[in-house]
Structure 1
Amino acid sequence: MSQDRRSAVIVIDMINTYDHPDAEPLMASVRQALPRVRQLIDRARSAGTDVIYVNDNFGRWRSHHDELLAAALEGPHADLVEPVLPDAESLFVVKARHSIFYQTPLEYLLQQSGVEHVVLCGQVTEQCVLYSALDAHIRHFDVSVARDAVACIHEDLADAALRMMERNMGARLVRARDVEL
C-alpha cells in the first residue's frame, strides 16, 4: 500500500446493547479485543485519521446516533461501550444489515473524503466484519483488518473468516499497533 493513500478507521457495531442470543460468547471476545480497539482509535485520532463508526440501528428505525449511544450506555454492559465512544470529531453512519456499505452513505462519504484505505475493527468478525471487508474489496478500497481488534461469537468461524479476507479479498491482517494510518 502506498503511504500517500488516505485511510479511515471504521469501527463496526461497537455501540451495542448486547441484548441478543449470542451476546455471552461475543461479550467475552469483546473484552479481549476492547483494549486494542481503543488503542487503534486513539492512534487514528492522534494521526488525524478519520474514525467512522458504522453501527447497527437495533431495529429502531426512527433512531439517530444519540439514541443508539444512550441505549447502549443505559444497558447492563455499558463498560464495553464507554471505552470506545465516538468523540466530537468522529463520524457516525447507521446501518440496518451486516455490511457497512449496504444501503448506507458510507461509500459516498469515503469517496468525498478521498479515502482509499479502510481499516476495519469491531464486531462480529465472522459476520459484519467479513461482509464489510468483501464489500470494501469489490468497491476497490484497500482493506486492512486489525486482527486483534475484532471480536467474534465463534472462534473457529472467525479464524476462517480472517483467512478468507486475506486470501480472497487481499485484506492485510495486522495487529492494531501495526496498522498503517
Structure 2
Amino acid sequence: MIEPKSCAILIIDMQNAFVAPGAVFETPGARDMVPRLTELVDFARKSRIPMIWTQSDHSPPYGGIMLKKFLVIANQRILWPGDVSFNFYANMPQPHESELEHIIVKHKYDAFFETPLDAVLRFHKVDTVIISGTATNACCESTARSAFMRDYNVIFLSDLTATFDAAMHEATLRNVALLFGRVMTTAELLNELSGSEAKSQTA
C-alpha cells in the first residue's frame, strides 16, 4: 500500500519542447495526459503530497554532449531558458509557490544527476517516488533507474508518461516492471492512495 505521507510525485519535463503542438520534440499523447495530470495534481494538493516539477535546460555549457547529438538544440536554442520551448506547457496545471512544490532544473535525462532532487525528497521524508511526464524511455526511465539505485520505491505511471512511439513506451514499461518498480495507471494509483488515506483516518 502506498502511503500519501511518504511519497512524492515527479512531473518530468512537461515543457513546450515536448508537449506543445508542432514542437521540435513533440511527444504523441503528451497533451492527452493533461486531464489525468490535472486529477493527480488536484489530489496531491488536497492530500499534501510533495510534487517536484522538472525542466530540462540544455543551454551551453550545461547542454554538453546534447548540443552535439541534437544539433537542433544548439541551432534553434531549444530547451534554453528564455526560449518558449523551455517553459511549462500552458494548458495544464502549473507549479504553485508552496513548501510542498519544487521546480528542479536538470541538464541530463536523469533528474537526480547533479540536482538537489535527492535532498528535497529526503527533506520531505519520502520513500516512494511516483514518476510521470515525458519522455517515457529517456528522462522518465533514467530517473526511475536512478531512484531505484538510491533505494526509493518507484511507481511508474503507464498512462501519465509518453514518448515518441508505442514500442518505446511499452519496452520501458516492461523493463521498469521487471527490474525497477511498479507500473500502474493513474486511476489505480489514486485508488490506492485514497484507500491508504481512508485507512489512516479510521485507525
TM-score range for the pair, normalised by the shorter chain length: 0.7 to 0.9
Aligned to 1:111: 122
User: Contact conserved, 1:120 with 1:143, CA < 8 A, in 2?
Assistant: yes
Greater RCO structure (CA 8 Å; 6+ sep): 1
Which stretch has the larger CA shift, 11-20 or 32-41? 11-20
In structure 2, what is the equivalent of residue 93 of structure 1?
Answer: 104
156, 159, 175: which one pairs with 1:164? Answer: 175
The alpha-carbon deviation at position 73 of structure 1 amounts to 8.6
Verify the 8 A CA contact 2:12 2:133 in the aligned structure 1.
yes
Distance in structure 1 (CA, Å) of the matches to 2:122 and 2:188: 25
CA distance change for structure 1 residues 70 and 82 in 2, over 3 Å: closer, same or farther?
farther
C-alpha distance in 1 between matches for 2:37 and 2:60: 26
Give the conservation status (yes or no) of the 8 Å contact 2:54–2:106: yes
* Residues 54-82 of structure 1: per-residue CA shift (max 9 Å, x gap): 220142669xxxx95983598xxx7x433
Letter of the aligned partner of 1:15 in structure 2? Q
Q: Which amino acid aligns with 2:31?
A: R
Over 3 Å counting, the alpha-carbon distance change for 1:92 and 1:22 in structure 2 is closer
- Which consecutive segments of 4 or more residues in structure 1 shift more than 4 A? 18-21, 67-70
Determine if contact 1:5/1:117 at 8 Å carries over to the other structure.
no
Q: Distance in 1 between matches of 2:31 and 2:174?
A: 22
Deviation at 1:5, TM superposition (A): 5.6
2:37 alignment partner in structure 1:
37
TM-score normalised over the length of structure 2 = 0.74
User: What do the CA deviations read for 1:50-109 (whole angstroms, capped 9, x no partner)?
Assistant: 1110220142669xxxx95983598xxx7x433131112221110000011011110111
Return the offset for 1:9.
0.5
Question: Which position in structure 2 is the counterpart of 1:124?
Answer: 135
- Find the residue that maps to 2:16 and give its secondary structure: coil
Q: Percent identity?
A: 23
Q: In the alignment, does 2:84 pair up with 1:71?
A: yes
1:109-145, CA deviations, whole angstroms, 9 ceiling, x for partnerless residues? Answer: 1112101110010000011111110000010001101
**Residues 16, 23 of structure 2: 8 Å contact kept:** no
Counterpart of 1:22 (choices 25, 33, 39) is 25
Q: Kindly indicate whether residue 51 of structure 2 is the aligned counterpart of residue 51 of structure 1.
A: yes
Instruction: Mark the structure with the bigger radius of gyration.
Output: 2
Q: Confirm whether residue 9 of structure 1 aligns to residue 9 of structure 2.
A: yes
Match of 1:177 in 2: 187
Q: Is the 8 A contact 1:11 1:122 kept in 2?
A: yes
Q: 1:48 to 1:59 in 2, by over 3 A?
A: same
Distance 1:2 1:148, change over 3 A: closer
Give the distance between the partners of 1:15 and 1:60, measured in 2 at CA: 19
Structure 2: gaps (5+ residues): 63-79, 194-203
Tell me the distance in 2 between the aligned counterparts of 1:110 and 1:16: 26
Counterpart secondary structure, 1:84: coil
